[in-house]
Amino acid sequence: MKRYCNYYRVSTKKQEVSGLGLEDQQLRANALVEREEGTVVREFTEIEGAAKAGKSSERPVLKEAIAFCRSANCILVIAKLDRLARNVAFTAALMESGLNFICCDIPTANRLTIHILAAVAEEEARLISERTKAALARLKARGVPLGSARPGHWDGKEYLRRPENARQFIGPAVAKKMDHYYSAIVPTLRELREKGMSQQEIVEHLNALGHRTRPSKPGQPGNPWNQATLSRVIRRYGCDVQANI
């Protein structure tokens, strides 16, 4: 009996939770395996935005699936070719590797067909990007507000700007670590703000003294301060007013 490994990709975490797109891929892949009278050994699901879909270096789950197929002697199953990669070079490299894989939407396709379709998918992704940029440029030229400038974008978000409320949306363990790390610098930030220093001036002052932001991982150094991080810390701990940590 042939062994298969199914690979799915959804664009967002919400799609994974809601099943949008994912369920269709699962049905396609499982139906193909059933027709071949095979068995699904393992399934992999990648959560990734469309903008990064063509970059193999940013698709760790796909790499993991490929490595598993090689070690377990499985056939890699992809529901749709555009889920494999909108990148001709990556698809070609995968074919050259000798890994046995199959796309549900073109199960009888040969190497040439897959290469051509991958090229078409890559070109489609490029055209979509160009059309989107052109449409946004036209809207901007007409004076239509975009991004955070859109009417209603900040509705209801003022609640989260309050330090005491923002803490609710951070895990207790992470919040505790942040409070412990920044507690020593909060008085300094408050003092600098009371002196009338701008955020950029504070950033330069902190970096000149060698201060760093909280490390994202234990044992690693923090990053230099920037205005975005400083703004979040000031807002979170109310450095313009009396802070409660």
Q: Which domains does the chain have, with CATH numbers?
A: 3-125 (3.40.50.1390), 158-237 (no CATH)
pLDDT surpasses 70 at 153: no
Q: What is the pLDDT of residues 182-235, one digit of tens each?
A: 888 888 888 888 888 888 899 998 888 888 888 877 667 788 888 888 888 888
Cα distances (angstroms) measured from residue 225 to each of 6, 178, 194, 206, 215: 43, 15, 19, 7, 12
Q: What pTM does this model have? A: 0.47
Q: How far apart are CA 146 and CA 205, in angstroms?
A: 34
* More confident position, 12 or 120: 120
pLDDT at position 129 is: 87
Q: What is the pLDDT of residues 34-91, one digit of tens each?
A: 998 999 999 998 876 544 444 444 678 888 888 899 899 999 998 876 655 566 666 7
pLDDT at position 121 is: 74
